[in-house]
Amino acid sequence: MFRFAPYIWKTLWRHRTRSLLTVSGASVAIFVLCFIGSIQEGLNRMVQGEDAQRRLIVFQENRFCPTSSRLPEDYSRQIAQVSGVTDVLPIQVWTNNCRASLDVVVVHGVPAAKLPESRELRLIEGQWPAFVSRTDAAVVGRQFALRRRVRLGDQLTFGSMSVHVAGIFESDSSAEEDLIYCHLLFLQLAESQTAAGLVTQLEVALDPSAEPDRVAKQIDEKLRSGLVPTTTRPKGAFQTATISDLVDLIGYAYWLGLACVGLVLSLVATTTVMSVQDRVQEHAVLQTLGVRPGRVMRLILAESTLLCFWGGALGVGLAWTILTWGNFSVGAEGVAITLRPSSAMIASGLGISVILGSLAGIIPAYQATRTNLVSSLRQS
Amino acid sequence: MPLVEIRNLTKRFRKGDEIITPVLDLDLDIEKGDLLALMGKSGTGKSTLLNLIAGIDQPDAGSIAVAGTTITGLSRGKLADWRAAHLGYIFQTHNLVPVLTAYENIELPLLLLPMSNSDRRKRVNFALEVVGLSDRAQHYPRQLSGGQEQRVGIARAIVTHPTLVVADEPTGNLDEETSRQIQTLLQELNRQLGITLIIVTHDVDVASIAKRQLRLEHGRAIGPSQSPSAAFSGL
């Protein structure tokens, strides 16, 4: 087949405008597909990680938006007594937008001294003592810092509060890298003088042997007699429920992705059909010279696959570049999904391109091999 | 033993409500090194017979054996293999691949055969030399004259050293002078390289280079005639 590579290349180059348009059309569709795929991947990363299964979130019952959940900070002491619980982290959440947004800002107020040990965050700029010692200090996730061009020592202002950037961190969890952490009391007081002692949620770390659902049930039962009833769920389930509208939207986007696949298929198939119809005589000549019908079929499949692959590679490259430099995140209710390029995205984008290119060429390739040679040779 | 043995060959096809029989119960032997001109009026089955011998059409009855291989009844794939190894086809309209240079067009059939790059190069250069187009090797078909295109077509047909070369009206699209040059070339190929040639032609001059002429009429062979003028007397 490689001996025929110049023929394949020159055939595609002969109608370069048509080839170029097909490649660009395929690239746009594959780009959209990759972009949608990265949202789905971000969601999966967030709700399927070990943290998502082994940590519990205690929230005020029947509340979803972080601005409406108010739990006594003291609940953490009571929850710590439940069997299977190893640690409880009270968190005050502030967000600039409870609705679905492409640039959500989420600030978590936590006990400063507990942060380094309760989260696997690695400071790439700044020092933990600088964060712990200064009450208006904040550490900022790398993703957020890149998106907003935040630097160490900057003063960030959100709503009525202003924080000093004492560090920039990275994390294996992409969702973490979109957060800002500051002192709990600072955030409580920044929101309201009466908010001291109240938190949005409590994050519960479990013993490895503890069953998350059982512990969650025990926590809710224990606090039922308290001031505020609670709903406790594994972190992943909590996040999925919190951004359920967004999950639905992502579900719809999946269909948009399928439409892109169909678009690529029909685009490349149309181009290949046109190309084959233009060359009925040429294919008959090749067969008269001794090219087997199967080889003619493979030549046509190679053409359609190459067109689609180039389009796919361009689309994947575009998606990679935009996702890398854009540092996008989409979020709602204080939960953000970060959009990151991944090797899975590259592999699936290129793989889908190759499969679609092959599929698009099958029918025209088959037709080219079934034509009557004598009548095809007479065509001009 | 003849190189080509045709026995009881019949080909029919339907044209509207009419059944046409361009070849009917034909027997024909062609010897190695022969140069046979197939002649006859339009629609007498010359090209049909040529296509049947070339294995690009299938008969309704009878058999064709070339160098001991019965090609009738072979699958499309096996026929393609057979053509690649044993047949050279010269088309009336050259039918060169427009995106390939003269060199690449001539090389094309060799890509189907097991052969080293250097052997392939030698064969292509030799074929270019034979047809007198060594200086046009890197030209594309659109950069060649009609006669030069046909020369490339001839080089492509002989480059594999085929058992048999068939030509369908090889000068049909050429002017008189170019036609004469092609006739001379075909005659030299037959005489000097011993290539067995079957030519379908209307042209008396082209037929004159043949060692043998065969006139077809109502699907049957009339002849061989003694001379080209005798063969054309009934046209």
**Cβ-based contacts of B76 with chain A (< 8 Å):** 287, 292-293, 369
Band (pLDDT 50/70/90 cuts) for residue B41 is confident
Q: Which of A3, A6, A285 is facing B95, going by the closest CB pair?
A: A285
Choose the mutation target among A18, A288, A297, A370 for the interface with B, i.e. most B CBs under 10 Å.
A288
Q: Which of A50-54, B83-87, B121-125 has the lowest mean pLDDT?
A: A50-54
Nearest CA in chain B to A13: B99
A122 has pLDDT over 90: yes
Q: Which of A4, A289, A293 is facing B83, going by the closest CB pair?
A: A289
Give ipTM to 2 decimals: 0.91
The pLDDT value recorded for residue A47 is 77
Q: Are strands A201-206 and A179-183 parallel, antiparallel or unpaired?
A: unpaired
Contacts with A93 (C-beta within 8 Å, 6 or more apart), sequence order: A66, A106, A107, A108, A109, A200, A201, A334
Domain boundaries, chain B: 4-223
Band (pLDDT 50/70/90 cuts) for residue A95 is confident
| Cross-chain Cβ contact A13/B108 below 8 Å | no
For A283, A301, B110, the CA distances from A290, given in Å and listed in that order, are 11, 19, 10
Asked if B43 reaches chain A (Cβ–Cβ under 8 Å), the answer is no
Which long-range contacts (C-beta less than 8 Å, at least 24 apart) are formed by A294-297? Answer: A294/A369, A294/B77, A295/A1, A295/A4, A296/A365, A296/A368, A296/A369, A297/A365, A297/A366, A297/A368, A297/A369
Q: Which of A27-36, B71-80, B130-139, B172-181 has the lowest mean pLDDT?
A: B172-181
Q: Which of A145-154, A246-255, A337-346, B99-108 has the lowest mean pLDDT?
A: A246-255
Asked if B98 reaches chain A (Cβ–Cβ under 8 Å), the answer is yes
DSSP B179-225: HHHHHHHHHHHHHHH---EEEE-S-HHHHHT-SEEEEEETTEEEEEE
The pLDDT value recorded for residue B225 is 47
Q: What is the pLDDT of residues A269-308, one digit of tens each?
A: 999 999 999 899 999 999 999 999 999 999 999 999 999 9
| Cross-chain Cβ contact A380/B93 below 8 Å | yes
How far is A380 from A151, CA to CA, in rounded Å? 69
Domain boundaries, chain A: 2-46+245-372, 54-242
Average predicted confidence (pLDDT) for chain A? 88
Say which residue, A52 or A346, is predicted with more confidence. Answer: A346
Average predicted confidence (pLDDT) for chain B? 88
| Cross-chain Cβ contact B77/A292 below 8 Å | yes
Q: What is the pLDDT of residues B124-139, one digit of tens each?
A: 999 999 889 999 999 9
The single-letter code of the amino acid at A180 is I
Q: CA of B112, closest CA in chain A: separation in Å?
A: 7
Percentage of the residues of chain A whose pLDDT score is greater than 90: 51
**Nearest partner of B182 among B148, B217, B229, judged by Cα:** B148
Q: What is the pLDDT of residues A200-253, one digit of tens each?
A: 999 999 988 889 999 999 999 988 887 889 999 998 888 887 777 778 888 888
| Cross-chain Cβ contact A14/B54 below 8 Å | no
Q: What is the pLDDT of residues A298-327, one digit of tens each?
A: 999 999 999 999 999 999 999 999 998 887
| Cross-chain Cβ contact A289/B111 below 8 Å | no
How far is A121 from A139, CA to CA, in rounded Å? 10
Q: Is A109 helix (H, G, I), strand (E, B) or coil?
A: strand
A-B Cβ pairs (cutoff 8 Å, strict): 69
Asked if A2 reaches chain B (Cβ–Cβ under 8 Å), the answer is no
The pLDDT value recorded for residue B232 is 44
**Nearest partner of A358 among A280, A269, A262, judged by Cα:** A269
The pLDDT value recorded for residue A340 is 84
Band (pLDDT 50/70/90 cuts) for residue A329 is confident
The pLDDT value recorded for residue B86 is 93
Domain B4-223 matching CATH 3.20.20.70: the answer reads no
Asked if A1 reaches chain B (Cβ–Cβ under 8 Å), the answer is no
| Cross-chain Cβ contact B108/A289 below 8 Å | yes
The pLDDT value recorded for residue B231 is 42
| Cross-chain Cβ contact B56/A14 below 8 Å | no
B234 has pLDDT over 70: no
